[in-house]
Amino acid sequence: MLGGTRCVALLAEGHFDATDAKTAVGVLRYRPEAVAAVIDSTRAGRTARDCAGVGGDVPVVADVAAAAALGANALVIGIAPQGGGLPPAWRPLLRDAIARGWTIYSGLHVFLGDDPELGALAAASGAAIHDVRRPPAALPIAAARAARLDAAVVLTVGSDCNVGKMTAALELERELTRRGVRAAFVATGQTGIFIAGEGVAVDAIPADFVAGAIEARVLAAARDTEVVVVEGQGSLFHPGYSGVTLGLLHGAAPSALVLCHQVARTQMRVGGEHDPAIPIASLAALRAAYEAAAAWVRPARVIGVALHTGGLDEPAARAAVAAAAAELGVPATDPVRFGAGPLADAVLARAGRTHAPHA
Amino acid sequence: MLGGTRCVALLAEGHFDATDAKTAVGVLRYRPEAVAAVIDSTRAGRTARDCAGVGGDVPVVADVAAAAALGANALVIGIAPQGGGLPPAWRPLLRDAIARGWTIYSGLHVFLGDDPELGALAAASGAAIHDVRRPPAALPIAAARAARLDAAVVLTVGSDCNVGKMTAALELERELTRRGVRAAFVATGQTGIFIAGEGVAVDAIPADFVAGAIEARVLAAARDTEVVVVEGQGSLFHPGYSGVTLGLLHGAAPSALVLCHQVARTQMRVGGEHDPAIPIASLAALRAAYEAAAAWVRPARVIGVALHTGGLDEPAARAAVAAAAAELGVPATDPVRFGAGPLADAVLARAGRTHAPHA
| Model pLDDT for residues B154-184, shown as the tens digit of each residue | 999 999 999 999 999 999 999 999 999 999 9
Residue A206 and residue B204: Cβ atoms within 8 Å? yes
- CATH classification of the domain holding B76: 3.40.50.720
Of residues A111 and B136, more confidence is placed in: A111
Query: What is the reported pLDDT for A358?
Result: 44
Assess whether B197 and B255 both reside in one domain.
yes
Pick the last residue of a domain from A102, A131, A160: A131
Is the same domain home to A83 and A162? no
pLDDT tens figures, B114-154: 999 999 999 999 999 999 999 888 789 999 999 999 999 99
- Identify whether residues A56 and A150 lie together within a single domain: no
Sheet of A227-230, strands arranged across: A183-186, A227-230, A152-158, A256-262, A301-308, A332-333
Q: Are residues B211 and B253 in the same domain?
A: yes
On whether the CB atoms of residues B181 and B348 are closer than 8 A, the answer is yes
Specify whether A100 is located in the same domain as A178: no
pLDDT at B293 over 60: yes
Domain presence at residue A358: no
* Nearest-by-Cβ selection for B207 from A82, A244, A278: A244
Which domain, by its residues, includes A86? 8-131
Q: How far is B207 from chain A (nearest CA, A)?
A: 5
For residues B188-211, average pLDDT: 94
The CATH number of whichever domain residue B163 belongs to comes to 3.40.50.300
Averaged over A2-6, what is the pLDDT? 80
- The helix (run of H) or strand (run of E) holding residue A262 is strand A256-262
Identify the bridge partners of residue A40 per DSSP, sorted by sequence position. none
Question: Is the pLDDT higher at A12 or at B85?
Answer: A12
CB-CB neighbors (< 8 A) of B140 in chain A: 83
Report yes or no: B140 at the A interface, CB cutoff 8 Å: yes
Decide if A345 is inside a domain.
Answer: yes
Is the residue at A247 inside a domain? Answer: yes
Domain assignment present for residue A237? The answer is: yes
Residue A357, pLDDT > 60, answer no
The DSSP call for residue A247 is: H
* A225 and A164 both lie in a single domain: yes
| DSSP class per residue in A102-144 | -EEEE--SS-GGG-HHHHHHHHHHT--EEETTSPPSS-PPP-S
pLDDT, one tens digit per residue, over B25-42 is 999 999 999 999 999 999
Last residue of a domain, one of B131, B154, B175: B131
For residue A200, tell me if it sits in a domain: yes
Three-point CA angle A95, A100, A102, nearest 5°: 90
Substitution target in A141, A145, A162, A205 with the highest count of B β-carbons within 10 Å is: A141
Q: Encode pLDDT of B250-278 as tens digits.
A: 999 999 999 999 999 999 988 777 777 88
* Prediction ipTM score: 0.92
The answer to whether A331 faces chain B, any CB pair under 8 Å, is no
At residue A311, does pLDDT exceed 60?
Answer: yes
Closest Cβ opposite residue A205 in set B206, B237, B275? B206
Task: With respect to residue A74, please indicate whether it lies within any of the assigned structural domains.
Answer: yes
pLDDT tens-place string over residues A156-198: 999 999 999 999 999 999 999 999 999 999 999 999 999 999 9
CA–CA separation, B252 and B202 (whole Å): 12
How many structural domains comprise chain B? Answer: 2
Q: Cβ(B334)–Cβ(B307) under 8 Å? A: yes
Q: Which of B83, B107, B131 is the last residue of a domain?
A: B131
Higher pLDDT, B1 or A286: A286
Q: Do A92 and A179 fall within a single domain?
A: no
Inform me whether the C-beta atom of residue B167 falls under 8 Å from chain A C-beta atoms. Answer: no
Measured CA to CA, the distance from residue A334 to residue A321 in angstroms comes to: 7
* Chain B residues closer than 8 Å to A82 by CB: 141
B106 and B180 share a domain? no
| Residue A2 at interface with chain B, using a CB cutoff of 8 Å | no
Confidence of residue A276 (pLDDT cuts 50, 70, 90): confident
| pLDDT for position B271 | 74
What pLDDT, on the 0 to 100 scale, is given for residue B352? 77
B135 min Cα distance to partner chain A (Å): 9
Residues B93 and B152 in one domain: no
Residue A70 to chain B, least CA–CA distance (Å): 37
pLDDT digits 0-9 by tens, A190-247 = 999 999 999 999 999 999 999 999 999 999 999 989 999 999 999 999 999 999 999 9
Average pLDDT score, chain B: 93
pLDDT at residue number B136: 85
Rounded CA separation B58/B328 (Å):
40
B156 to chain A nearest CA, in Å? 17
Q: Is the pLDDT of residue A119 over 90?
A: yes
- pTM: predicted TM-score of the whole model, two decimal places: 0.93
pLDDT tier at A353, thresholds 50, 70, 90: low
Confirm if B256 and B350 have CB atoms less than 8 A apart: yes
Beta pairing, strands B103-106 & B35-39: unpaired
Residues B250 and B150 in one domain: yes
Q: Using the beta-carbon criterion (under 8 Å), do B246 and A242 form an inter-chain contact? A: yes
**A356 part of contact set with chain B, CB < 8 Å:** no
Name residues 260-299 of chain B within 8 A of A (Cβ).
Answer: 270-272, 275-276, 278, 281, 289, 292-293, 296-297
Binary contact (A296, B203; C-beta < 8 A): no
3-state secondary structure string across chain B: CCCCCCCEEEECCCCCCCCCCHHHHHHHHHCHHHEEEEECCCCCCCEHHHHHCCCCCCEEECCHHHHHHCCCCEEEECCCCCCCCCCHHHHHHHHHHHHCCCEEEECCCCCHHHCHHHHHHHHHHCCCEEECCCCCCCCCCCCCHHHHCCCEEEEEEECCCCCCHHHHHHHHHHHHHHCCCCEEEECCCHHHHHHHCCCCCHHHCEHHHHHHHHHHHHHHHCCCCCEEEECCCCCCCCCCCHHHHHHHHHHHCCCEEEEEEECCCCECCCCCCCCCCCECCCHHHHHHHHHHHHHCCCCCEEEEEEEECCCCCHHHHHHHHHHHHHHHCCCEECCCCCCCHHHHHHHHHHCCCCCCCCC
Do A210 and A338 reside in the same domain of the chain? yes
**B224 and B329 assigned to the same domain:** yes
Residue A298, domain member (yes or no): yes
Q: Is position A334 within any domain?
A: yes
Coil, helix or strand for A266? Answer: coil
